[in-house]
Amino acid sequence: MTVGYELREGVAVLWLDDLARRNALSRAIVSRMFAALARSRDDNARAIVLAGRGPAFSAGANIDDLRDGWMEGREPDTDPTRLFQALTEEPRIVIAAVQGAALGGGFELTLACDLVLATPAAFFALPELGVGVIPNTAAARLQRIVGSRVALELILTRRRLTSAQAEKLGLVNKVVEASADVVGDAVALAAQIVSQSGPGAITAAKRAHHGHAPTDWERVRASLTEVPRAEWQEGLDAFTERRAPDFDRFWRPAKGG
């Protein structure tokens, strides 16, 4: 299983459930998340909660899938950015319940949600530049939350944020107590919201909110192809081989012909 599903109090809980890969956003997870979203509509779920099984919320993109198509714009139907777009444009409330690492694509997954709850053990980082790729969705969505300079600093330095730091920056709405059930809290919050408003008003509020600061999703997808192939191949090879990447050679001026 890579995606689990359950219905609680009229709220659909979608579980990232690939412990062997720390819930990395593989093609299988992306495809099954779309299926779970469709199932939630069939079940008339009034809101969505995203959660991760095990110690990690999501460790980011699947390295094998980055090598095999995503960096060059192939396999568009299982591209994580299409999932992020679908969640952003979802008419129902979407809440992330983060209990551990939200790295790279896992961090970006939270940026596609309306609200984020986290435990004290949760942490957030964008490590992509260190492996020769870019956080293309974060480049589009992060700055509207934390501001341009902070967003670029987080992307360039790849520094890790604790849940408390993320809360101060507005990336997390609330840090729950260590002993609390963050998924239960997220379900309770979603149930409270939908019990006090009609579906049309919630949808209209979300559309208005995103309409004032729209995301250019085609630009998000195209930006991955702007990274030189040699650089991302070196970065991903180094990650797989558990060594430091050699980016120094790409800084050297090309020899004249």
Which residues face 47 on adjacent strands?
11, 93
- Which superfamily does CATH assign the domain made up of 1-179+198-257 to? 2-enoyl-CoA Hydratase; Chain A, domain 1 (3.90.226.10)
- The better pLDDT of the pair 65, 182 is held by 182
What percentage of the chain carries pLDDT values higher than 70? 97
Sign of the C-alpha dihedral computed for residues 169, 225, 74 and 19 taken in this order: negative
CA dist 147 and 140 (Å) reads 11
Q: Would you state the pLDDT for residue 248? A: 96
Is 137 exposed, middle or buried, given 0-12, 13-18 or 19+ CB atoms closer than 10 A? Answer: buried
Q: Is the pLDDT of residue 16 over 90?
A: yes
β-pair partners for 13:
6, 49
pLDDT reported for residue 204: 96
The radius of gyration of the chain from alpha carbons, rounded to an integer in Å, stands at 18
pLDDT band at residue 180 using 50, 70 and 90 as cut-offs? confident
Supply the mean pLDDT for the chain: 94
Break the chain into its structural domains and give their ranges.
1-179+198-257
Mean pLDDT of 161-179: 94
Once rounded to an integer, what is the mean pLDDT over residues 19-28? 93
CB < 8 Å & 24+ apart, contacts of 227-233: 227/71, 227/132, 227/133, 227/134, 229/71, 229/72, 231/132, 232/66, 232/71, 232/131, 232/132, 232/133, 233/67, 233/132
Q: In the prediction, which pLDDT does 256 show? A: 61
pLDDT one-digit tens code per residue, 29-79: 999 999 999 999 999 999 999 999 999 999 998 888 887 777 776 766 788
* Contact (CB, 8 A) for 133 and 162: no
The predicted pLDDT at position 210 comes to 92
Section 9-27 average pLDDT: 95
| Span 216-251, pLDDT tens digits | 999 999 999 999 999 999 999 999 999 999 999 999
pLDDT, tens digit (0-9, with 9 covering 90-100), for 107-141 = 999 999 999 999 999 999 999 999 999 999 999 99
- Whether the per-residue pLDDT at 194 is higher than 80: the answer is yes
Task: Examine the pLDDT at 257 and tell me if it is beyond 70.
Answer: no
CB atoms within 10 A of CB 30: 25
